[in-house]
Structure 1
Amino acid sequence: MAAAMEEFEHQFAAVSAEITSKINKIPILSGNDKKQLASSAEKQVDEAHELLEQMNIEIRNIPSAERQKFTTRLKSYQTELNRLEKDLRRSKVSSRDDGAREELLGLDDYRNSEDQKTRLLDNTERLDRTSRKLDAGYRMTIETEQLGQDIVDNLHRDREKIDRSRNRLRDMDSNVGQSSRVLSAMMRRILQNRLIMLFLGLIILSVIILAIYFIAKK
């Protein structure tokens, strides 16, 4: 009986190792290869269950002195097989998730590509608008600069006119000053001449009066 149990244990260990190996390979495969490997692993899980059932039958025929030892081993084998079944289901779900994730990633890549195109178009339009605004601003700057230059030129011409007018006024002031001095000199001369004539008139009048006085006295 113990020899049969050991044989079942060796078979279970070999099957468990193969199941573990296939579980590790399933996520990295795709398509039919992945399905075939998953199906083969499921068959080996069923085979492992059959081995555990055979172990359970053999344990019933083992003497009670050794039965507890093999019962404990059987429980550990059952726990191990349950873990392998969970890992197998997880690997198959992971495979489907990987496919879905790839589809989602592909969709995300497409969406990201579309978003990038949209952003590029928006950026291009924004750059075009900015370029047009800069061109308009540049033209306005040139026009403003030209207008400012025209204003400066006009101010320069006006300044020259004002300077010429100021020079004319200075010349006129100089001429007026000279004329005023000439007139003043003429007025002084006229006044002097009048005073001289008045003085001479007084002298002549005095002489006449004296002459009349002396004539009348004789």
Structure 2
Amino acid sequence: MSSDFETYEQDFGTLTAEITSRIVKIPKLAGVCSDGNDPEDEKKNMVVSVEKQLEEARELLEQMDLEVREIPVQSRGMHSTRLKSYKQELEKLEKDFKRSRIAYSDEVRDELLGDDGNSSESQLIKLRDERAHLLDNAEKLERSSRRLEAGYQIAVETEQVGQEILENLHHDREKIQRSRDRLRETDANLGKSSRILTGMLRRIIQNRILMFILGVIILFTVVLAIYFSVRGL
């Protein structure tokens, strides 16, 4: 189980390194490419590629999350901490990518405005308003993502607590079962002891009755002997 988690970790590390390298390159792509391609096309392709890699990174985190859930509770803490740090790293990459795309959009806007020196002030204001609107939406999405992440974390922690409670209840049930078995065994032994004592008491009573009868017989014999001896005189 942990070997699969480590494999996902290695893939995640390689993928995030590539994402970081490409995010840094996005705002810097300018001029004519070495292969003669349009630099704008290269930028767009780079953005699309980073988006796909970020999606792959999210899928890797989901796989690691599933692996962590299968790990026993007593050894799950270390993997959960590592997974949490990977999620934070991915969030940072997404923020860097967002800033990189904003810088790229500003650069495209400057190029468009540069081609037409007589662009009106209203167009510039409109672009600024659109940018502010996009930033506001991005912040809202980020806050929603944080709330979802917090809710998910609470659900995971609740699941862990539930599993621990179930394990404790299982251990308690085993203890109660063992105590019940011991009580049954003790009860059986007490039953045997009671039967033995009852048998011993019965034999004692029988012996006393026999002794009483024997004593009566002996006494009667002695009385007869004395009677006949006195009568013979």
TM-score by structure 2 length? 0.44
The structure with the greater share of residues assigned to helix is: 1
| Larger CA Rg, structure 1 vs 2 | 1
TM-score by structure 1 length? 0.47
